Structures are given as structure tokens and as C-alpha cells.
Amino acid sequence: MKNNKPARPDINEFMDKVKRLEKGEKLDLSSDEDLSIGIMNLISMEEHFFFTYNKTKDAKYLDLLNEIREMRKSALKRIIKDYEGEGWCISKHLLAASMRFMEVGTKALTKGDKKDAEDMFQKSYNLYSLFWGLNLGLVQTKNITQTNPHQDVAFISEDPKPKQTGSSSIFAKLREVVQKAIDCCKE
């Protein structure tokens, strides 16, 4: 019987992708990075219009929420190329969660709790790195479904359950790739 599973790229293919990113192959994501931050803020605006509507019951806030939502969807389409499975929603929620952790970190920093701020900022950056890992095609989400949303995410070339060896978690690997691939200072 023939195996109908699609062949997965091997570790060499993944490492080639990473090396091309590290060498500065013409992958200027600075505009997309700016856009991703803009999308985070649009998601926050959607949330604020939702709460304002519920506090005031003024329908104009629902209209504003819908306009912002359409703008956010249009912007996401510029970054998210793979609509397979839950990829779209996962990406949106990664950006939203990243933004919220960043907000909590900023508030902790304002209160003088640097340790909590650093923890929140690290979590925010981990989620942001995972967003880019998904949308640069460095990680797979084929095993993630609505019925099994806690399935581990793995690099394309790894087993579905990544093995933790030292500090080489999937987040550590993604942070390294994202730091090298995305430079917000490129003009």
C-alpha cells in the first residue's frame, strides 16, 4: 500500500533556508515587520471598540469595529500566504497575544517590576517569532487542529514533538532566525 503522506523536507533543506536568511539573501521583511506591528494595533482597536460598544450600547462602535476588522484582514493577507488549516487564525492570535504580553510587560516596567517585565517581553517576542516562523515557512502546523489545539509545533524538518535539548527550544531557534532575518532599520 502506498503512503499518501506528503514528503517532509529534511533538516538540510531547513538549514539551507536559515542560512539564506542569515546571509542576508534579499529578504527585506522590514515593511512586513512594520505591517505586523500595525496589525497588532488594529487587533487592539477591535478589542477597544468591542468593549466601548458594550459599555455604551452605541452601534457606531460596531460599525467602527467592522471597518477596522476589514482593514486588519486586508493587511494580514499581505503577510500570510498560507491559508491552510488554522494557519490564518493561529497567525492572528499569535500577533494578538504577542501584543498583549508586550502591554503587560510595559505596565510592569512602569511599576518598576523589571523582572516581570522581562518575562512578559520574552513571552511576547517568543510569540512574535513563532508568527514569523509560521509565515516564513520554517515551522509546520499540520498537526494542529481545533480538536487538538495544544499539539506541539515543530520545525518542518523535525519530529512533531520537538526534543528539548539544553536551551535549544523551538522558541530559541525561532528567536535566532527572526533576529537575523528581520531588520526594522532597513530602508
Strand 139-140, strand 154-155: pairing: antiparallel
- Residue 81 domain flag: yes
Domain range enclosing 99: 29-181
- Residue 22 domain flag: no
Query: What tens digit of pLDDT does each residue of 25-73 get?
Result: 544 567 888 899 999 999 999 999 999 999 999 999 999 999 999 999 9
Query: What tens digit of pLDDT does each residue of 107-148 get?
Result: 999 999 999 999 999 999 999 988 988 888 777 655 544 444
Structural domains in the chain (count): 1
